[in-house]
């Protein structure tokens, strides 16, 4: 089949094979990829609606034993600038999020050996007690695996307990590239193999949770690896139907051990368009303006994306690796409407919540993103002494034997 | 309707036929950015083939012309920046820098600044001639906004045989007015053909409503399609940022201005500005070619 025929088949609703996807990715002109992806988006979302969510990306700890070599965010156990957020700090962040119309926290963090399962359960229960309708989109698959290993409980059991405590959905972080050869090179194989990542999502979907899926490309992966990644997601989606959306972004090299350089804007748009073509059973694709900037982020809506992601209030991980773009609701809506789309707020399940909130109530403009810790907050809150630490430094700090 | 129009215009672009303002308006109304980009890319390809040029620039403050450390190994343009207090200051700064610039061309000044120093078109011709004699290879820029607002012409540059490196835009051009505005620029160039490159993306962005990616690439594409008497459509690497600058290459831009001649710190060979700009051009399926301020090809 010619490249044109492969693209036309995809636009008509046909499924592309791995070989066809690779041919498109390597050889199709960007305009052809974009047109095909845009046509698929239009077929799936004929009303011309582009959604976004108001939420806050909170990283509860930067302590991590995984030490992925592409990560600029983590600190090793015992480092002087490690932190864990206090419950009160998290409540304050929720208050601020609700004040600007936010409906959920995206809660992720490092693999901290000194936070047992009970800490997460207590936190989730406390959040739900104080903010009953507020959603917790929390703990990516590698974090769930980490908790499962530390607590010596099966992943299913951990998910069950976290759901009982208040977890509403699971973010698709930590997928990077779901190819074990690549994961070994990124030093993230031990935190979760490709199969393990997929398995957590399978368990979550079976337990009734919806999740997202992600892909971080452009580190040590080749084009064929990205396609293998997309096909693994597509297969699981065929099986469970549990993914709500797919988000891809380029590896951000600044301040990382791996180093290297970032992939270009056009490569991002091509990768996004290819994902729209391959992931025929995904309803939603998000634009990653956080890594690409507002302008290329907006153009993502012409390359297959139908969602502008989050009106972010806080971001720590990508910023640590060199990217820091900020768009508040006004700006996101302006960018959506500028392309002739209709903006709608949504929740994590992609249910529409309504029109832009700033048109209904007075919301202060936001020109910069907050960070996890304000200077006034202690790096390690007192309440941690209630939880058994595993590392020596944390035991000493908490006065535990 | 939109498809018919686009194929009609594609046929015109393919044979190098001029597009009218009305056709520019129709392209705007079609709102088909991908098709517009393809048309502009064809127009770019007819002129420049698969090549995209870039220039590494070192800004030299006027006061430092005699002593600034100069990256002569890497720069393709030494650009004097700042406002000279007098004609003599301007000439002296050029002379001082040109004496130390080796084979790297010296550019500098905004045309308006020189006009203000000279006071009249005739005096400007004289000043330009003196600057040329002192070693100025080209006037660095002229502001399209000011020239159009004043109804001024570029004739003094022609009379003094002084090239203009680029026509720049200060404030964003409103989409609906863009075709007529581009037609004015086309007329300006027809009268005094000294514009080597036009950089259509505005330098100043209103804080509350900056232009969007769509606004930017659409304007670039229209500029390529309507400015058929201008050789190069340019994007500014530093101001636009690598990602947007690269995307404009898909919409008719053939030249990237203002790539830093010096990296702020040692980024390693794979992350140097030179490698980054080359990588971005290649990832846009074009061949990078380094040039200097005279648009001469450099082999480094
Ligand atoms: S990416 Fe996540 S798991 Fe890996 S080192 Fe960073 S914080 Fe830890």
Answer whether B251's CB lies under 8 Å from B221's CB: yes
Map residue B123 onto helix, strand or coil. Answer: helix
Nearest atom in ligand 1 to A142's CA = 3
pLDDT tens readout for residues B81-129:
999 999 999 999 999 999 999 999 999 999 999 999 999 999 999 999 9
Between A11-20, A74-83, A299-308, the lowest mean confidence (pLDDT) is in A74-83
Domain for residue A80, yes or no?
yes
Within 8 A of A50 by CB-CB distance, chain B residues are none
The alpha-carbon gap from B78 to the nearest alpha carbon of chain A, in Å, equals 28
Domains held by chain A: number:
1
Interval between CA A366 and ligand 1 midpoint (Å): 28
- To the nearest whole number, what is the mean pLDDT of chain A? 94
DSSP state for residue A214 in the 8-state scheme = E
Closest CA relative to residue A68, chosen from A140, A157, A137, A118: A140
Q: At what angle do helices B213-226 and B237-248 cross, to 10 degrees?
A: 70
Cα–Cα distance between B198 and B167 in angstroms, integer? 5
CA distances, A188 to each of A197, A229, A237, A251, B140 (Å): 11, 15, 23, 14, 50
Q: Which residue of B has its CA nearest to A255?
A: B267
B132 reaches A (C-beta below 8 A): no
CA of residue A71 to ligand 1 center, whole Å: 6
Is B214 in CB contact (< 8 Å) with chain A?
yes
By DSSP bridging, strand B51-61 and strand B77-81 are parallel
Q: What's the CA gap between B79 and B65, in Å, rounded? A: 10
For residue B55, report the phi and psi dihedrals to the nearest 5 degrees.
Answer: -130, 135
CB pairs < 8 Å spanning A and B: 82
pLDDT score recorded for residue B1 = 45
Domain interval for residue A105 = 28-398
**In Å, how far is B26's CA from the nearest CA of chain A?**
17
Residues of A in Cβ contact (< 8 Å) with B241: 293
Per-residue model confidence (pLDDT) at position B2: 65
B interface test, pick of A25, A265, A266, A338 with most B CB neighbours within 10 Å: A265
Mean pLDDT to the nearest integer, A358-364: 87
Confidence (pTM): 0.95
> What does the block give as tokens for A309?
């992601």
* Residue of chain B minimizing CA distance to A301: B214
Residue A9 lies in a domain: no
Instruction: Report the pLDDT value the prediction gives residue A365, as an integer from 0 to 100.
Output: 80
Rounded CA-CA distance B84/B88 in Å is: 8
**Distance in Å, alpha carbon of A13 to nearest chain B alpha carbon:** 21
Q: Is there a contact between A294 and B213 if contact means CB atoms under 8 Å apart?
A: yes
**Which of B205, B208, B212 lies closest to A298, judged by CA?**
B212
| Structural fold of domain B2-290 | TIM Barrel (3.20.20)
CATH code: domain of residue A78: 3.20.20.70
pLDDT of residue A337: 98
Average pLDDT over residues A312-319: 68
Task: Inform me whether the C-beta atom of residue B279 falls under 8 Å from chain A C-beta atoms.
Answer: yes
Q: pLDDT by residue (tens digit) across A121-147?
A: 999 999 999 999 999 999 999 999 999
**pLDDT at residue B89, as a whole number:** 96
The pLDDT value given to residue A322: 64
What is the rounded CA–CA span in Å between residue A190 and residue A180? 10
The predicted pLDDT at position B228 comes to 95
Can you tell me the mean pLDDT for A356-371?
82
**What's the pLDDT at B149?**
86
The residues of chain B scoring below 50 in pLDDT are 1
Q: How far apart are CA A103 and CA A373, in angstroms?
A: 21
Token pair 């070619």 is found at B289
Residues of chain B found within 8 Å of residue A263, distances taken between Cβ atoms? 283
Which two structure tokens, joined as six digits, stand for B167? Answer: 């026509």
Q: Which atom of ligand 1 is nearest to the CA of A188?
A: 4
Nearest residue, CB atoms, B213 vs list A29, A260, A295: A295
Are residues A265 and B243, on separate chains, in Cβ contact within 8 Å?
A: yes
Protein residue with least CA distance to atom 4, ligand 1: A68
3-state secondary structure of A95: helix
* Angle between helical axes of A141-151 and A194-206 (0-180°, round to 10): 90
Kindly state the DSSP code that residue B251 receives in the 8-state scheme: G
The pLDDT, as a whole number, for residue B268 is 62
Residue A75 in contact with ligand 1 by CB distance below 6 A:
no
Q: What angle do CA B28, B29, B34 make, to 5 degrees?
A: 60
* Closest-CA residue to A144 (of A136, A156, A134): A156
- Evaluate whether A147 touches A100 at the Cβ level (below 8 Å): no
For position A319, what pLDDT does the model report? 65
> Cα–Cα distance between A155 and A143 in angstroms, integer?
11
Phi-psi region of A102 (alpha: psi -120 to 50; beta: other; left: phi over 0): beta
Instruction: Kindly tell me the burial class for residue A395, based on how many C-beta atoms sit within 10 Å of its own C-beta (0-12, 13-18, 19 or more).
Output: middle
CA–CA separation, A15 and B13 (whole Å): 36
Q: How far apart are CA A290 and CA A308, in angstroms?
A: 10
A112: its two tokens:
């901290």
CB A207 within 8 A of CB A159: yes
**What average pLDDT does the segment A356-382 reach?**
79
Alpha-carbon distance A319 to nearest alpha carbon in chain B (angstroms): 17
CA distance A285 to A270: 13
For testing contact with chain A, the best of B210, B213, B244 (most A CBs within 10 A)? B213
d(CA A313, CA A260): 29
Contact B241 A35 (CB under 8 A): no
The 10 Å Cβ neighbour count of residue A45 is 16
Helix, strand or coil, per DSSP, at residue A67: coil
Asked if the structure places residue A14 within a domain, the reply is: no
First-to-last C-alpha distance (Å) of chain A = 68
DSSP A139: -
Per-state percent for chain A, helix, strand, coil, to nearest 5 = 45, 15, 40
CB contact under 8 A, B283 and A266: yes
Comparing CA positions, the residue from A87, A81, A80 lying closest to residue A105 is A87
Which ligand 1 atom lies nearest to the CA of residue A73?
6
Asked if the Cβ–Cβ distance from B31 to A340 is below 8 Å, we say yes
* Segment A269-287, tens digit of pLDDT: 999 999 999 999 999 999 9
| Residue labelled with tokens 């550019």 | B107
């Amino acid at each position: 089949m010619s490249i044109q025929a492969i693209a036309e088949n995809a636009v008509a609703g046909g499924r592309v094979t791995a070989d066809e996807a690779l041919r498109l990715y390597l050889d199709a002109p960007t305009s052809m990829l974009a047109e095909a992806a845009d046509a698929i988006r239009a077929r799936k979302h004929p009303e011309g609606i582009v959604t976004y969510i108001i939420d806050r990306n909170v990283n509860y700890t930067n302590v991590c034993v995984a030490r992925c070599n592409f990560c600029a965010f983590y600190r090793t156990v015992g480092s002087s600038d490690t932190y864990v957020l206090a419950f009160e700090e998290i409540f304050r962040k929720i208050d601020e999020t609700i004040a600007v119309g936010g409906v959920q926290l995206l809660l992720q963090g490092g693999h901290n050996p000194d936070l047992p399962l009970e800490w997460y359960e207590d936190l989730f229960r406390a959040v739900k007690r104080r903010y009953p309708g507020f959603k917790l989109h929390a703990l990516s698959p590698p974090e769930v695996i980490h908790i499962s290993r530390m607590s010596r409980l099966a992943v299913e059991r951990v998910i069950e307990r976290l759901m009982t405590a208040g977890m509403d959905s699971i973010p698709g972080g930590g997928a990077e590239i779901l190819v074990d050869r690549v994961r070994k090179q990124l030093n993230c194989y031990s935190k979760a193999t490709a199969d393990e990542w997929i398995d957590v999502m399978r368990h979550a979907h079976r337990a009734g949770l919806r999740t997202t899926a992600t892909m971080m490309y452009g580190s040590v992966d080749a084009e064929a690896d990205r396609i293998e990644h997309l096909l693994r997601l597509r297969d699981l989606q065929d099986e469970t139907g549990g993914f709500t959306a797919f988000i891809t972004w380029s590896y951000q090299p600044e301040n990382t051990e791996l180093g290297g350089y970032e992939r270009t804007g056009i490569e991002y748009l091509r990768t996004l368009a290819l994902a729209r073509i391959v992931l025929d059973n995904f309803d939603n694709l998000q634009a990653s303006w956080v890594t690409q900037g507002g302008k290329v982020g907006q153009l993502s809506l012409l390359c297959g994306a139908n969602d502008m992601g989050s009106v972010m209030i806080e971001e720590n991980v990508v910023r640590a690796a060199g990217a820091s773009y900020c768009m508040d609701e006004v700006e996101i809506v302006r960018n959506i409407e500028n392309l002739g789309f209709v903006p709608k707020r949504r929740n994590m399940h992609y249910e529409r919540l309504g029109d832009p909130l700033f048109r209904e109530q007075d919301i202060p403009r936001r020109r910069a993103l907050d960070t996890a810790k304000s200077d006034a907050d202690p790096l390690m809150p007192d309440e941690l002494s209630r939880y058994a630490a595993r590392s020596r430094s944390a035991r000493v700090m908490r006065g535990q034997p | 309707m939109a498809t018919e129009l686009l194929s009609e215009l594609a046929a015109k672009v393919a044979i190098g036929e001029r597009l009218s303002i009305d056709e520019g308006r129709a392209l705007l109304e079609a709102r088909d950015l991908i098709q517009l980009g393809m048309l502009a890319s064809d127009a770019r390809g007819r002129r420049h083939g698969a090549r995209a040029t870039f220039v590494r620039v070192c800004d030299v403050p006027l006061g430092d012309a005699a002593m600034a450390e100069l990256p002569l190994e890497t720069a393709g343009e030494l650009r004097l920046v700042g406002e000279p207090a007098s004609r003599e200051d301007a000439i002296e700064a050029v002379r001082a820098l040109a004496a130390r610039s080796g084979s790297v061309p010296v550019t500098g000044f905004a045309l308006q600044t020189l006009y203000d120093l000279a006071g009249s078109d005739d005096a400007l011709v004289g000043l330009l001639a003196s600057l040329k004699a002192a070693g100025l290879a080209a006037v660095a820029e002229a502001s399209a906004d000011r020239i159009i607002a004043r109804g001024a012409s570029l004739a003094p540059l022609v009379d003094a045989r002084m090239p203009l490196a680029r026509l720049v835009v200060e404030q964003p051009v409103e989409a609906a007015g863009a075709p007529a505005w581009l037609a004015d620029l086309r007329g300006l160039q027809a009268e005094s053909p000294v514009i080597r490159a036009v950089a259509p993306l505005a330098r100043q962005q209103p804080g509350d409503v900056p232009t969007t990616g769509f606004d930017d690439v659409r304007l670039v594409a229209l500029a390529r399609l309507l400015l058929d008497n201008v050789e190069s459509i340019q994007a500014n690497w530093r101001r636009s940022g690598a990602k947007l600058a690269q995307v404009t290459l898909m919409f008719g831009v053939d030249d990237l201005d203002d790539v830093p001649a010096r990296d702020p710190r040692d980024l390693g060979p794979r992350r140097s500005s030179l490698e980054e700009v080359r990588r971005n051009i290649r990832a846009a399926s074009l061949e990078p070619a380094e040039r200097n301020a005279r648009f001469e090809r450099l082999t480094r």
